Amino acid sequence: MNAESAQRPKPAGGRRLVCITGASGAMYGIRTIQALLESGCEVHAVASEWGERVVAEETGKPFSVWMNDFAISQDHIHNCRDLAAPIASGSFPLDATVIVPCSMNSAGAIASGVCQNLIHRAALVSLKESRPLIIVSRESPLSLIDLRNLTTLAETGASILPASPAFYHSPATIDDMVNFVVGKILDHLHVEHRLFRRWG
């Protein structure tokens, strides 16, 4: 990590990291990145190898193309194998980290303190620095092992936010359902949005 990137002042809208793992529901991650950018946040992004594959299979477009479409600076897109990336250090200022979707493999690794890739390292940094970490779990059913891992993460300070869209707002499209979950993520990040109609 170079000194310039570590000392760079945070933007007015905040700086968030969005990580995409190999669980189904890749559009939740893509839409979260888009919504944060639209809100004026500086977004850093990283996808695991399986995350990139799921993005391509579920959206019909590679992760790299999505990032290019969003015009994200190349130094804000990190290689999952690069443990020397700025986001691997607690000295790099981040307001929050979101893993969306989060596979149970990644949840288990993080809960165990095992660093297999940059996503795991970034999550562990969030926990040790007492920064917000949002785990958007996307698996069903959950085994007892999964439940225990998620409980461990909650006990260490992470927010567990299952990808569970609501129906009270009468969603008419898949986008409506995706936007509801993304809106809940933004609520936890204290980022204003109009992604769904609120109850009442």
User: CATH number, domain at 24?
Assistant: 3.40.50.1950
- For the cut 50, the answer to whether the pLDDT of residue 1 exceeds it is no
* Residue 7 forms part of a structural domain: no
Give the chain's domain count. Answer: 1
* Residue 182 forms part of a structural domain: yes
**% of the chain with per-residue pLDDT over 90:** 88
* Residue 2 forms part of a structural domain: no
- For the cut 70, the answer to whether the pLDDT of residue 10 exceeds it is no
pTM of the model: 0.93
* Residue 195 forms part of a structural domain: no
* Residue 105 forms part of a structural domain: yes
* Residue 6 forms part of a structural domain: no
pLDDT given at position 3: 46
pLDDT in tens, 75-133: 999 999 999 999 999 999 999 999 999 999 999 999 999 999 999 999 999 999 999 99
**% of the chain with per-residue pLDDT over 70:** 94
* Residue indicated by tokens 């189904």: 24
* Residue indicated by tokens 């979101």: 98
3-state helix, strand, coil in the chain (%, to 5): 45, 15, 40
Q: Tell me the residue range of the domain where 32 lies.
A: 14-188
Distance (Å, rounded) from C-alpha 49 to C-alpha 179?
25
pLDDT given at position 8: 58
